[in-house]
Chains A and B, each alone.
Chain A
Amino acid sequence: MLRLASLPGVLVAGQGREYAGAKPGLLVALALLLCLLVMASLALGSASIPLEQIAATLLGGEADSAAWTNIVLKFRLPKTVTAMLAGMALGVSGLLMQTYFRNPLAEPFVLGVSAGASLGVALVVLGAGAAGGLLLGGLNLAGDLLLTAAAGLGAALTMTLVLLVAARIPNGVTLLILGLMFGYLVSALVSLLLYFALPERIQAYINWTFGSFSSVTSAQLPILALIVGAGLLLAVAQAKPLNALLLNEDYARSLGVPMRQTRLGIVLATALLVSAVTAFCGPIAFIGIAVPHMCRGLLGSSDHRLLLPGTILAGACVALAAGIIAELPGSNIVLPLNVVTALLGAPVVMLVVLRRARGLS
């Protein structure tokens, strides 16, 4: 190796220097917080059930009251797991989009996948004829299933479209603009459907757009878990190329990142995560944009080997917290989930943008 005459300062090589200023220890704190929130989510609700009864039920036993067992196993457990999966999925897909587009305001929905899901739901709820109306009469179980299927189909079709476009267009900004425009196009179509729809159908559509962690049944849960798991694995596998993308696409390519493959990996992971969550929980806003910013701030790093586990943990935490707050423990009122996520998420995004603006001036 080349020796140089003058060495300004003495620099010592070491593992620690790579993460200078970063706080990876906070991952442990996030994991602990997640455990607490999982317990809270299981313990809190409109019915008050003693903690030891909940624990007994979860360990395979029976609670003193059959109603309690029912509530814990059929409602609180699926709701808690759904919230965790949805939070993880939205947090990670938000991170992927922000890094890939190198835009702090990118979010999971910029690809237009959830817009596709909304269109699917709108077509079923607002456009369908008598059959749809019959099924949706009281928003019964079949109606719920139909909504999930419509949202899933809409998301899957959009996802295919996005992947086809992403495979052909090597420019991230173009993809971003196309995704946004597709979103506008779809919301115009949805507005058109709303304009001509019957009032009670409109209410059913609006209810879907509020988002909810409670409509996933124990039977549907494995499907959600499988898709989210696959999406998360695919995302984690991109950690190294994502770090190279912090420079820019040209540099990433020069470092040996196979860009086409990486772009498709990122888009596929995001599309899987977003379409699964939107199909089962509705279009949940703000978690996807706010959680990556929270993690960067907390962990003090933009290294994806920290940020990916960070957004998985923090996403689950935020979604659980939002789910708990939405149910207003101790009352019988349930707030729309999107109201709570926006109330929690919007201030975070505002803070980040303000801090960024101050940092630049």
Chain B
Amino acid sequence: MKALETRALAIGYRRRRRSIVLARGLDLQLRRGSLVGILGANGVGKSTLLRTLARMQAPLAGQVLLDGEDTAHMLPLDVARRLCIVLTAAPQDSLLTGYALVALGRYPHSDWLGRLSKSDHAQVVWALQAVGAADLAERRVSELSDGQRQKLMIARALTQDCPLILLDEPTAFLDYPRRLETLRLLRRLTRAADRAILVCTHELDLALRYCDELWLMSESGMKIGAPAAILRDGSLNEAFGIDGFGFAGDGGSLVPGGAELSQSLESQEGGSL
């Protein structure tokens, strides 16, 4: 079942009367139960795509459909119950505690005063534990490291309890084991609760290992495929366009030399990573 679908979507910005198009003609489909990674060089429009899908930014053309319904005609609260997002910005408020921050995820489900029921609280606690941030519940968010804050922001999204989760570089500030854990957690969430998760990332190796499908963005367009297929047909090199470097084996690590060289390295060393 499709959680998200786009039809002839064009993304970008409007400046005065000119529009700057980052990508056009996107017909994307995101099935429930799948983890999809968006890869691409800096500035190619990954975040803009996420923001457009989350209706934080208007599409230049085309439609975004959630469960078959055009988001352009949906109320903000309806969107918030079906889709949550983790952005790169973290809040700086000096008095907000970890628990209060994560509890804000219950916003679309609570009454006009935002009062939390027992099951709301249970959801907050579960999310804190799921990302390994139970010890941050009573800490002030302003006292935490970027990585700790990032964990809380992911927990906040989980608390929102939506069938579709979008994440913009959720692992940027995390240490390596925590990056691995986060992607494993996301993968588990797609399996256990039949969620669809779309994650924008620069962690090529982790994306190749854990994602069910990759959307590779480059200036020439969007390439969609299974990680193994993307890795083998050389489109990674095309998308990131670095002379003298290539992506090795099935691990997705960058090595000096072109694609041919990486193939030969793979045969010598049995792949790298």
Contact = CB atoms under 8 A, between A and B. Distances in A.
A52 interface: no
B107 A256 contact: yes
B1 interface: no
Interface stretch (A142-150, A237-245, A321-329, A343-351): A237-245
A244 B107 contact: yes
A256 B91 contact: no
Interface string A238-267: 011001101110110111111100000000
A59 interface: no
B79 interface: yes
A300 interface: yes
B98 to A, nearest CB: 9
A13 interface: yes
B99 A256 contact: no
Contacts of A248: 89, 91
Contact of B114 (A4, A239, A296): A239
A256 B79 contact: yes
Contacts of A118: none
B191 to A, nearest CB: 9
Interface in A286-307: 296, 300-303, 305
A359 B137 contact: no
Contacts of A259: 76
A240 B134 contact: no
Given A8-B132, A305-B113, A18 B103 contact: yes
Given A243-B104, A255-B104, A9 B112 contact: no
Contact of A254 (B54, B75, B121, B126): B54
A34 to B, nearest CB: 23
Contacts of A356: 94
B81 to A, nearest CB: 7
Nearest to A247: B91
Given A13-B124, A250-B89, A253-B56, A4 B130 contact: yes
Given A14-B121, A15-B121, A246-B96, A9 B193 contact: no
Interface SS of B by simple majority: helix
Contacts of A253: 55-56, 76
A2 B189 CA distance: 8
A19 to B, nearest CB: 8
Given A239-B114, A246-B96, A13 B130 contact: no
B93 interface: yes
Interface string B160-192: 100000000000000000000000000011001
Interface string A8-43: 111111110111110000000000000000000000
A244 B109 CA distance: 13
Contacts, number: 127
Q: Chain A contact residues (Cβ within 8 angstroms of B): what range?
A: 35 or more
Nearest to A246: B93
A251 B87 CA distance: 8
B85 interface: yes
A20 B138 contact: yes
A205 to B, nearest CB: 40
B18 to A, nearest CB: 19
A239 B129 CA distance: 28
Contacts of B122: 13
B128 interface: yes
Contacts of B83: 254
Contacts of B78: 256
Given A20-B97, A255-B160, A256-B81, A243 B114 contact: yes
Contact of B108 (A12, A243, A251, A256): A256
Contact of B116 (A7, A12, A18): A18
Contacts of A15: 116, 121
A236 B168 CA distance: 33
Given A11-B128, A240-B114, A258-B76, A21 B93 contact: no
Given A11-B128, A11-B137, A17-B121, A250 B193 contact: no
A296 B95 contact: yes
Given A2-B188, A250-B56, A303 B121 contact: no
A1 interface: yes
B137 A13 contact: no
B125 interface: yes
Contacts of B95: 21, 296, 300-302
B118 A13 contact: yes
A253 B74 CA distance: 13
Residue from A9, A10, A258 having most chain B Cβ neighbours under 10 A: A9
B163 to A, nearest CB: 14
5 contacts: A1-B126, A13-B124, A15-B121, A20-B97, A258-B75
| Interface pairs A-B: 10 shortest CB-CB | A256-B80, A13-B121, A256-B77, A302-B95, A255-B107, A256-B108, A240-B114, A20-B138, A11-B134, A13-B125
Interface of A: 1-2, 4, 7-15, 17-21, 102, 237, 239-240, 243-244, 246-248, 250-251, 253-259, 296, 300-303, 305, 356, 359
